[in-house]
Amino acid sequence: CFLLLHFTRMSVAAVDSDRRLASFSQRNSMVDIAGPGVLVQSTLPMTSPCEVCSGIGSFQYGAISGTSMATPHVAGVAALLMSFKPSASATEIQQAMLDSAFDLGTSGRDDSFGFGLVQALAAAEILNGGPLDGIGGGDGNDGDEPTPPPPTISPPSPTSTSPPSPTGSPPNDGTCDPGFSLFRLDLTTDQFGSESSWVIRRNSDGATISGGNYGNEQTYEELACLNTSTECYTFTIFDSGNDGICCSFGSGSYTVTLDGDVIQTGGSFSAAEEISLGSCGRNNPVSGTCSQQGLVPIDLYLRTDSYASETSMQLVDENGELLEFADGLVSDMEYGLTECVSPSGCYNLTVFDSFGDGLSGGTEGVFIVSFDGIEQSRATSFGSQLTVQMGNGCVS
């Protein structure tokens, strides 16, 4: 997302409460600064679906993720600085924010975090020309270290057992509130842990939690509370290297459980693998089950751009039968799809963009499609549509 200071523009990345880049956050040369953007508490109309919420009048609070949540944090700091020093120009305010940002990721500016995490006090001191006495609340933070974002919902550090949840009280003691199921992901990364990420998406409203930016060959435990009795969720694990987490570069693996019951184990997939959880059924076809049926997987990994409403896709077989269709996507979001098909068939996957600029609007997206574990196409800019034909039954 972009913040506009008069005629000065800033591109904002999203981080979680552990200061890790959100899986949906843009990564490009335009990123200037980062702000808290993972499951941030925000007001919602009482008519909106919400489970982690408390009502006040006609509004309620709920957790929302996105660069659209990170940008208001940065905008708020900019507004604070403008009120602190009204004589400062937009350029001076922007420069103070960039110069004071807490460096994350690669030393100096990088394409993930920009110059780092926004710092209100440190930026104000730059505009002031020196320290601001009596500010800081006596917490020992003198501006050299960032004030941590609220501990809302985020993936934990390795071996941590207390991540929060998008849809229920955080299971700090390994238990959930009545009516919620305990989701657990045990993840062991391969030699390229930074390629691995995951997301749980509540299908009714698109609310998500996610994890990523993992270390190499490490073990992680992620917990969340899900209302599986009435809600449908989709869990998707991604690998941006399109080689899964086993076994080309190490023996990575993952296991998903609900209330102690093993729902799915895996590691050998291409770009993505997904599972349905909750009221819509706990399992749908994934790569690991295709071979058991004598079938092969078509795997699609899709990361939308900033204009996801323009994007749709369909998968049809040689008879024109529609196998999959998707639209109504969320901007700057990752999606995964696995369809088990006959290896002797011929299949056309078409991705459409109604504006005609592919997935290159604003924050660039990408789609990757594989047939039986072999990448067939990877693209960002493709105009109005791109069709990929695959299958052993296709006639050259």
Burial environment of residue 27 by CB neighbours within 10 A (0 to 12, 13 to 18, 19 or more)? middle
Contact 244, 237 (CB under 8 A): no
Q: How far apart are CA 396 and CA 380, in angstroms?
A: 25
127 secondary structure, DSSP code: H
pLDDT of residue 218: 92
- pLDDT per residue over 93-129, tens digit each? 989 999 999 998 888 899 889 999 999 999 999 999 8
pLDDT at position 335: 72
What whole-number distance in Å separates Cα of residue 124 and Cα of residue 88? 11
Q: Tell me, what DSSP letter sits at residue 111?
A: T
Position 39 scores a pLDDT of 76
- List C-alpha distances in Å: 165 to 25, 170, 300: 19, 5, 27
List, edge to edge, every strand of the sheet that includes 322-326.
Answer: 322-326, 311-316, 347-353, 385-390
Q: Which residues, 6 or more positions from 67, have their beta carbon under 8 angstroms from its beta carbon? A: 1, 12, 13, 14, 22, 24, 25, 26, 37, 332, 363
Question: Which parts of the chain sit beneath pLDDT 50?
Answer: 4-7, 48-56, 135-170, 281-288
The structure tokens 């749980």 sit at: 200
Residues 6+ apart with CB under 8 A from 264: 254, 255, 256, 275, 283, 286, 288
